[in-house]
Amino acid sequence: MNKTKFGQFGGQYVPETIMNALHELEAAYRHYQNDPEFLEEYGYYLKQYVGRPSPLYFAEGLTKRLGGAKIYLKREDLNHTGAHKINNVMGQLLLAKRMGKTKVIAETGAGQHGVATATGAALLGMECTVFMGEEDIERQALNVFRMELLGAIVEPVNSGTKTLKDATNEAIRAWIHRVEDTFYVIGSVVGPAPYPEMVRDFQKVIGEEARKQLLEAEGCLPDAIIACVGGGSNAMGIFHAFMADEAVELIGVEGAGKGIETGLHAAAIAEGKVGVLHGMKTFLLQDQQGNITPAYSVSAGLDYPGIGPEHAALHEQQRANYVSVTDDEAIDALNALCLSDGILPALESAHAIAYVMKLAPTMSADQILVVNLSGRGDKDVHTIAAYKKGELQ
Amino acid sequence: MNRIDKTFQALRAEGKKALITYVVAGDPGLKQTVDLVLAKAQAGADIVELGIPFSDPLADGAVIQAAAQRSLNRGTTIDGVFDAVRGIRTQSQVPLVFLVYYNTVLAYGREAFLGECKETGVDGLIIPDLPYEEREEMVALMDESVHLITLVAPTSEQRIEKLVRDAKGFVYCISTLGITGGGAGFFSGLEAFLAKVKSQTETPIAVGFGITKKEQVKPLLPMVDGVIMGSKIVDVIHQSQGDSAELDAFVRSIKIEFE
C-alpha cells in the first residue's frame, strides 16, 4: 500500500468519499497489470485498432538541416486519433470494463484526451462524459464536435480559469458524485495514486518499442530521449524503458509560453513549488497564498499548472533534465519540421522538436537523439494561423 | 481543554445537540467575517467553521466555490484570516474550526500554520483533501490544542472503524454522495450509516453536506450530536451582502429546531 509515492511526490490527497474507489481501482489494476488475458486483449487493440507499433522514423531532413546528431522520431502522431493519448485510454477502458463499470468520465484540455476517450467508449459501448473548460471549448471547437460525433457528452466547465485545471476539478467532483458506477479516465500521469503509475504503464509501450527499434536500426542506445511535458504522459511513456540505461539522458521540455520572465508560461518544474492539487503532491505553479496560478502556453496540451509526480521525483533525483522552450521557438520548430520532413507536429510535440534544434547542432554526427513526436498538428492549424496573423494575445 | 470538547461536553450534560455553521472568510470582506461569526455565535451557533478560500476547492459545490472566488478577488490572505480570528477572539470563545485545503497549509508552512492556529485560538482543522492515508504528515505535528477533524463518507464502509478510532473533536459525517451544497439529496442509507459511525466511536458525530432547510434538521437530531449547515448559510450571507442582522435571524430560525 506504500506504493503510492515517488519519493516525496504523488500520494492520494483526495476527499474521503473517493478513497474506497481508489483502493478498488488499485486492487483491480494490481490484479490485471500482469494478467496474460488482459494484456493480450490490450495488445490486440493496440495493434489492430491503434495501429501499433508506431514507426521510429529517421528524420533525414531535419538531421541534415541541423548538421549534428542523428534524429529519430517516434511517430505517435500516426496512432488512431492522432496522438499517444489513445494508448492509455484503451488500457483504462478495458480495465473499466473488467471492473464492471459502464460509464466513464474524463477531463480534457485541448480535447485530445477527450477525443481518445470518446473514441474508446464508442468502440466498447460505454457512456462517456467529457469535462472541458469553456475557454478550451471555444479554442478547440473542432475537437468538441468530434467528441459529439463519437457520442460523448461534452460538459462545459465555467469555474476558475475555465481550462484544463478546472475541468479536472469538475471531473473529480463528478466522480465523487457518481463514484459507484463510474470510472474516471485520467489523461495524463497525474492525479491520485494509482493513476500516475497506471497511466505510465499504459504508455510505456512507446519507449519499449523505440528502444527495440533503435537497437535494430543502429545497434546502440540513443544519447538522449526528448519529449514535451504538460502533465507528462508521453514523456513518461518513452522514458520508462530507458530508466535503467544510465548513459541515456532523459530530457523533458516544458512550455515557456511567452517566456519564463513574463510569468505567462506552463513551466511547473522550472518555476513551481511543491504543493498538492488534483490528488497529488508535486511541483505546482502557485502564488504565495498557495492558490494555483493559471498556466499559459500556445499549446493547450501543455497548459497545465502542475506536472506528474514521477517527473517531479526524476527531477529531484536528477535522473531526468527539464528544460523549457517558448511559443515562438515551438512555432519555428513546427515550421522547420514541416519543410524538412513533411511532418506537421502537434504544437505540444513541436516543443520537443524546438529543443532538439538547440541541442542537435552541438552534438556530433555519430550521436543519436530520439524524440517522441507525441501527436500530429492537424488539430492546431487554426491556432497556428491565428498565431501567424498575430491574433493570439 | 479544547473549546470543541468543552462545548460538546456542556451540550451533552444538557442533552442538547450542536448547531455548526460555516462561513467563507473574506466574503463579502474580512471585517464582515468577524461580525458575521460573532452574530452567529450570539444567535446560537455552537461551533463555527471558517473556510479559508482556495482557488481549486474540489470538495465544494457551486455556492462555496463562488464565495471563495469572491473572497480571493478581494485579496483575502491567510494572514488576513488569522487576523480575523484574533478579532473574533477578543469578543467570543465560540469554538472555531478552519475548513482549509491542504495546499494552503503547505504554502504557509505546516508548523507555522499550526503555530498561528494555536496562538490565535483556532480549535480544529477540516482538511478535505487530506484523507486518512496521508494525514500522518499533519498529525505528527499536532497536539490537543488543535484537532484534525475526521471526515467519514457514505462510501467509507469498512474503513469507518479505522477512520474514527482516534477521532478528535467531532466526526464529520458526509450525508451525500457528492460535494457541498447538495443537489444530490441525502444518501439513501443515511440512517444506517450514521448509526454505524455512532456505534464505533465515543467522539461526538456531526452530519453535514446538503442540509439546506430547517425541516431537514429535526429528523437528524436523534442520530447525531451536531448538524452542520454550510452552503445555505453562505448563500444567506451573499444574498444579504453580509448583513449580520439577517444572518442572526436565519440562524435563530434554525436554532429553534434544536430546542
User: What tens digit of pLDDT does each residue of A191-236 get?
Assistant: 999 999 999 999 999 999 999 999 999 999 999 999 999 999 999 9
**Interchain CB distance below 8 Å, A276 and B72:** no
User: Which of B155, B161, B162, B175 is the best substitution to test chain A (most A C-beta atoms within 10 A)?
Assistant: B155
**First-last CA distance in chain A:** 47
Quote the mean pLDDT of chain B: 95
pLDDT at A177: 85
User: Which of A12, A14, A17 is the best substitution to test chain B (most B C-beta atoms within 10 A)?
Assistant: A17
What interface predicted TM-score (ipTM) does this complex get? 0.96
How many other C-beta atoms can be found within 10 angstroms of the C-beta atom of residue A319? 13
For the stretch B101-117, pLDDT in tens is: 999 999 999 999 999 99
pLDDT at B4: 98
Residue A179, Cβ density class (10 Å: 0-12 exposed, 13-18 middle, ≥19 buried): buried
Average pLDDT for residues B203-219, to the nearest whole number?
Answer: 91
- Contact residues for B21 (Cβ-Cβ < 8 A; gap 6+): B40, B45, B47, B48, B49, B228, B229, B230, B233, B251
**Interchain CB distance below 8 Å, A291 and B163:** no
Catalytic annotation, pick one of A26, A107, A310, A329: A107
pLDDT at A1: 42
Are B216 and B222 in contact, with CB atoms under 8 Å apart? no
Nearest C-alpha neighbor of B152 from the set B102, B205, B191, B112: B205
B2 touches chain A (CB under 8 A): no
* DSSP H or E stretch at residue A326: strand A320-326
Q: Residue written as cell 497556428?
A: A384
What is the rounded CA–CA span in Å between residue B187 and residue B184? Answer: 8
Neighboring chain A residues of B69 at a CB cutoff of 8 Å: 159-160
A258 touches chain B (CB under 8 A): no
Percent of chain A with pLDDT over 90: 90
Average pLDDT for residues A13-17, to the nearest whole number?
Answer: 95
Neighboring chain A residues of B62 at a CB cutoff of 8 Å: 159
B71 touches chain A (CB under 8 A): no
Residue B139 confidence class, pLDDT cut points 50, 70, 90: very high
A251 strand-pairing partners:
A226, A321
For the stretch A309-340, pLDDT in tens is: 999 999 999 999 999 999 999 999 999 999 99
Cis peptide bond N-terminal to A194, omega within 30: yes
A13 touches chain B (CB under 8 A): yes
A256 touches chain B (CB under 8 A): no
pLDDT at A356: 98
pLDDT at B210: 84
Average pLDDT for residues A177-194, to the nearest whole number?
Answer: 94
Are A74 and A227 in contact, with CB atoms under 8 Å apart? no
Average pLDDT for residues A342-368, to the nearest whole number?
Answer: 98
What is the rounded CA–CA span in Å between residue A163 and residue A160? Answer: 8
Least confident of A86-90, A230-234, A294-298: A294-298
Quote the mean pLDDT of chain A: 95
Closest partner residue to A292 (CB to CB) among B55, B134, B157 is: B55
**Interchain CB distance below 8 Å, B155 and A288:** no
Neighboring chain A residues of B127 at a CB cutoff of 8 Å: none
Strand-by-strand arrangement of the A70-75 sheet: A56-58, A70-75, A368-373, A224-228, A249-257, A320-326
**Interchain CB distance below 8 Å, B104 and A289:** yes
How many other C-beta atoms can be found within 10 angstroms of the C-beta atom of residue A382? 12
B153 touches chain A (CB under 8 A): yes
User: Which of A276, A285, A304 is the best substitution to test chain B (most B C-beta atoms within 10 A)?
Assistant: A276
Nearest C-alpha neighbor of A290 from the set A305, A270, A307: A305
Mark whether B60 is an active-site residue: yes
Cα A95–Cα A98–Cα A99 angle in degrees, nearest 5: 90
Neighboring chain B residues of A179 at a CB cutoff of 8 Å: 155, 177
Q: How far is A312 from chain B (nearest CA, A)?
A: 17
**Interchain CB distance below 8 Å, B134 and A274:** no
pLDDT at A391: 65
Pinpoint the alpha helices (H) of chain A: 19-32, 36-45, 60-66, 85-98, 112-124, 134-139, 141-149, 164-178, 195-203, 205-218, 233-239, 268-271, 309-316, 327-341, 347-359, 381-388
Are A189 and A200 in contact, with CB atoms under 8 Å apart? yes
Q: How far is A150 from chain B (nearest CA, A)?
A: 28
Backbone torsion region of residue A81, taken as left when φ is above 0, otherwise alpha when ψ lies between -120 and 50, otherwise beta: left
Using DSSP's 3-state secondary structure scheme, residue B208 falls into: strand
Pinpoint the alpha helices (H) of chain B: 3-13, 30-43, 62-73, 78-89, 102-108, 110-120, 136-139, 160-164, 190-199, 217-220, 231-239, 244-255
Are B117 and B143 in contact, with CB atoms under 8 Å apart? no
- List for chain B the helix, strand, coil content (%; round to 5): 50, 15, 35
Enter the pTM of the model: 0.96
Neighboring chain B residues of A21 at a CB cutoff of 8 Å: 155
Nearest C-alpha neighbor of A159 from the set A143, A177, A146, A172: A172
Residue B212 confidence class, pLDDT cut points 50, 70, 90: confident
Can you say whether the dihedral through the CA atoms of A131, A45, A190, A185 is positive or negative? positive
**Interchain CB distance below 8 Å, A15 and B152:** no
Q: Is the pLDDT of residue B186 over 80?
A: no
* DSSP H or E stretch at residue A72: strand A70-75
A345 strand-pairing partners:
A376
A3 touches chain B (CB under 8 A): no
Residue positions counted in chain B:
259
